[in-house]
Structure 1
Amino acid sequence: MLRHTCAMVVLQATGDIRKVSLWLGHATLTTTEVYTRGDPTEKLDAMDAIVPPTCGAASSSPPTS
């Protein structure tokens, strides 16, 4: 999952599938084209939705809904 996420970030930042292909070590661009089939923004939003929040200082009161 980390590898795919990093590839999506590189693709979104550069817009260059060749850089993603080189970074991933793919032999051909055909293999890397999988990353162009979906909207990177949607995939990153989905990833952000499942990442647990960072832990802060302990609180003496329970969280509110």
Structure 2
Amino acid sequence: METLIPDFSYSLVFWNAILLISIVFWIYALLNLLKSKLEKDDKIIWLLVILFIPIIGSLYYVFIGKKEI
């Protein structure tokens, strides 16, 4: 008789965790950008960077862009 429990994949758990962390980080960067006191043009540029290059743009904003404020 075959087992009904499928094989557990640790790599699937790992990639789901990475995906969840990147989504949370992306949302954090967007909310932080909206609360910032940057000029309108700078906010639009950062918003486009975060939206079109989600993971790298979010990292870039949090580690470099926040220092410009």
* TM-score between the two structures when normalised by the length of structure 2: 0.29
* TM-score between the two structures when normalised by the length of structure 1: 0.30
